[in-house]
Structure 1
Amino acid sequence: MGVVNVTPDSFSNGGKYLERDAAVAQGLRLLADGAEIIDVGGVSTRPGVLVEGSGESGAGSGKSGKKSVSEQEELDRILPVISELKRKQPEAVISVDTYRANVARAAVSAGAEVVNDVSGFRWDPQMKRTLAELKCGGVLMHMRGRPEEWRSLPPASDIVTLVKRELREWADTAMLAGIKRERLVLDPGFGFGKNFEQNYPLLKRFDEIHQLRFPLLAGVSRKSFIGRALARHGKDAPVTDRSFGTVAGETVAILKGAHIIRTHDVRACADAALIADVVVS
């Protein structure tokens, strides 16, 4: 799954693909490099960012006078990209990275076949019903708290057990709302509400999440915990220097049984996956 962030404040590319043509060109490059899915997102969920939502987690607080990206702005960013990608590559599988039900519906109408929701279908109370109606694929990701709360979250005694328990509960709720089991993929949410130390056991014990009996997605690409592991002279590796560490982390995830890898560096990941697949088969 290749990532195209149509945002001005992405942690990984800082707005490089905010314009439609640049985003479409990047999507086509990722497909040529071996991506089987293109994940298009119009709202950053980097640490500290303010997001909207409702349901279990409540609404955005508006801290520090910051405003979250509006629904219309998100639509204006992603819909032209999705439509143009499908026009140029009709066979391409497009995923939309959104936590808003209305955005999900519009994206599917524009050609997306998968909704990738970092909130686990929880922030927008209409999301589960919408996905059930759309009959599209859904990625249910685990997140602790909200991005603006991550620095103040209480510690988790066993992050893997917590992630498994909550993913099971959230998946059960989604299916009760009408989403078919075979349309769901689970993502443990590396970096989303997990501190540096919690991500390493989550990767080490990734195979335990197979106990839930769903296809699994892993997204470790360029994450902060990769930068921390690659630190030199007391400084974390910057995003631009995390490519090799990213491939190593992605290879571990594949060897632990990940079915989908969400990545910014598709060519390197695809090559690593070919070798890893030979080993596991």
Structure 2
Amino acid sequence: MNCINAGKEFQINCRGKLLDLSSGPKIMGILNTTPDSFFDGGTFHKTQGKVDLDRALEHALEMIREGASIIDIGGESSRPGAEKISVREEIMRTIPLIELLQRKTDIIISIDTWKAEVAEKAFKAGAHMVNDISGFTFDGDLPGVCSQYRAAAVLMHTPVKPESMQWSTDTGSGKGDILARVSCFLEQSIAVAEKNSIHDLIIDPGFGFGKSVEENFQLLAGLRSLQALKRPILAGLSRKSFLGHAITPKGEEILPPSERLTATITADTIALMNGASILRVHDVEAAAQCLRVLEAMKRF
């Protein structure tokens, strides 16, 4: 079964598991096994940099109980300026957890990577989709691997690799309309996927990735325009720095990620009202409450 577009309703086949978006938006819970992610870096690490599998598994199960439909497992930080790690290290941080999680639950598991070798190991371990921040632009072998394993894919817009990226700033990029640039990029990513017979696709505009504060808000306000690409939209807004800029009093140091939850839920609500089908979040229970409020409104 391929991606089915029934008006605004989508169904995504994730290696035999159906992500049914026809009944309403879904939540992707973030599970970073990295020591340096911008919000939860090091949370699931023991001494000497080893992943605490028991603690990471319990957090995944907690997110599922709170309402997550997908668990997104990442082993390399994509924050601006993040240090690159080896494929071997990324595999060590993610694959044991994927193997453990797929034995304990039937949740859809996503591997957050742009590397074909990591993705293949993840699929062999039981992952169902890849979440590629590069939209199939960093590793030319990744589309072939996804096609081979019949995996679904999240294609995100990013203009540069994380090590060359900056945090969202008040300075615009000067490269024209952000919505047009993102749409053009994602259209090309979709074309690459379809050329490789990958049709179960989700698109992500890449909030916070190489974009100014102003551009991020332009994307949020105009998110509905991306529905023209006829793919479900994922919004990854959770505790991003551009939200910190918006809520910080003028002249003060930007509020840290730990103080951006309310701003995140506000942005999530706007994204859902502007056509998002999936929220990628750190705080699943808060996002689930947001979904329930919007669902209650539909009765009136």
Q: TM-score, normalised by structure 2?
A: 0.84
Cα offset, 1:280, TM superposition: 5.3
Partners of 1:7 and 1:14 within 8 A in 2: yes
**Equivalent of residue 236 in structure 1, options 233, 241, 254:** 254
Q: List gaps (5 residues or longer) in structure 2.
A: 1-27, 46-51
CA-atom RMSD, angstroms?
1.6
Q: 1:16 and 2:43 equivalent?
A: yes
Matched, 1:198 2:215: yes
Of Structure 1 and Structure 2, the greater strand share is in 2
8 Å Cα contact 1:39/1:96 also seen in 2: yes
Which position in structure 1 is the counterpart of 2:134? 119
Q: Is the 8 A contact 1:20 1:77 kept in 2?
A: no
Match of 2:104 in 1: 88
Residue pair 1:2, 1:265 contacting (<8 A) in 2 also: yes
Distance 1:167 1:146 in 2: 16
Matches within 5 A, 1:1-281: 1-18=28-45, 19-50=52-83, 68-89=84-105, 91-151=106-166, 154-180=173-199, 183-232=200-249, 234-279=252-297
Report SS of the residue matched to 1:215. coil
Of all paired residues, the percent bearing the same amino acid is: 39
Instruction: Report SS of the residue matched to 2:131.
Output: strand
SS, match of residue 122 in structure 1: coil
Question: Is the CA contact 1:167–1:186 (under 8 Å) kept in the aligned structure 2?
Answer: yes
Give the CA deviation at 1:30: 0.6
Assess if the C-alpha contact under 8 Å between 1:17 and 1:26 holds in 2.
no
Instruction: Give the stretch that moved more between structures: 143-152 or 118-127.
Output: 143-152
Using the TM superposition, give the Cα deviation of residue 11 of structure 1 relative to its aligned residue in structure 2, in angstroms: 0.3
Partner deviation per Cα, 1:177-221 (whole Å, 9 max, x = no partner): 2212xx110000000111211100100000010011111100000
- The structure with higher relative contact order (CA 8 Å, sep 6+) is 2
Letter in 1 for 2:65: A
Segments of structure 1 that go 5 or more residues without pairing to the other structure are 51-67
Q: Kindly provide the amino acid, as one letter, of the partner of residue 143 in structure 2.
A: K
Structure 1 residue runs of 4 or more that deviate by more than 6 Å after TM superposition: none
Counterparts of 2:207 and 2:145, CA distance in 1: 26
Aligned residue pair count: 261
CA distance 1:154–1:195, shift in 2 (3 Å): closer
Give the superposition deviation at 1:21.
Answer: 1.7
Is the 2:173–2:211 Cα contact (8 Å) retained in structure 1?
Answer: no
SS of 1:4 mapped into structure 2? strand
Which TM-score applies when normalising by structure 1? 0.89
